Amino acid sequence: MIIYMDLLILENFIVNKFLLYLTAQTVKVKIKQFDITLSAFIGSLYILVMFYDKKGYFISIYFKILLALVMTYITFRKKNLLFNIKTTIIFILYTMLLAGLCVFIEMNKNNNPIEGTAVIYNFSYKKLMLSLMIIYLVINRLLAFIKDRRDSNCYLYDVDIVLRSSKTKVKAFLDTGNELVEPVTNLPVIVVQEDIFKDIDIKDYSNFYIPYKVVNGAGGRLRAIKPECIKIYKEEQIEEKDALIAFSNEKLSDTGDYQALLSRGIL
């Protein structure tokens, strides 16, 4: 029998990723694509043990359980021991269920057909199951992407930044966790990409320096100016607000969906 090792590793990788996805959806925990991919790849390499571990040290049930525990830990990155044990048990149960299904199909696919029915011979059930797993993974990611885009659009606003001699329109994202205000005037602060104003002269405006701190404890100060006003478009209404514009030299959206962040207090 000829075994193509690369195809064998690829098939195991697909199966592992499929089972880890099912486990994540069962415990309702959001996971990172890099983590689940790394975990599935490490699990797929275990097939090499069957060929190179001649004495069978690493094919015992205890090592397989340990491997499952490592895979679930890499996928979820949780330090809670009970959570890791629970997800490992779920992952193993899904693995056993899939293995039992494969055995059932293999034992019954060569049964004599009922007279008068059409039969397709030499049909690969393994390829069918792998195809279904791939379709599931693709659809799952597609639906997650569509949901994220739909949810994000609910927090996007058109904003006009009115200066003395110009008006700049930007897309702004309402950051519900952002409570940034200027401590003296108590005005809300809108963080805007600095390159939006690269062709606009703002040297005549007084500078404010806004202290800030992020979740991981890092902080600093943002330079800001006070425009004439801010106009926020909400459906068919336009709300005029007083606010400060702080500048960020980094891109705020990787996909370019927005160029500004609204604080919660501005709406």
Q: Looking at the annotation, which residues are catalytic?
A: 175
CA distances for 145 relative to 95, 109, 149, 167, angstroms = 27, 38, 6, 33
Angle (CA) 233-235-240 rounded to 5° is: 30
C-alpha dihedral, 12 to 43 to 89 to 72, nearest 10°: -130
- CA dihedral for 7, 10, 16, 17, sign (positive or negative): negative
Cα gap 264→48, rounded to integer Å: 54
CB 242 within 8 A of CB 157: no
Residue 26 identity (one-letter amino acid):
T
CB 162 within 8 A of CB 227: yes
CB 212 within 8 A of CB 221: yes
How many secondary structure helices (H) and strands (E) does the chain include?
Answer: 6, 9
Report helix, strand or coil for 53.
Answer: coil
* Closest by Cα among 206, 201, 189 to 248: 189
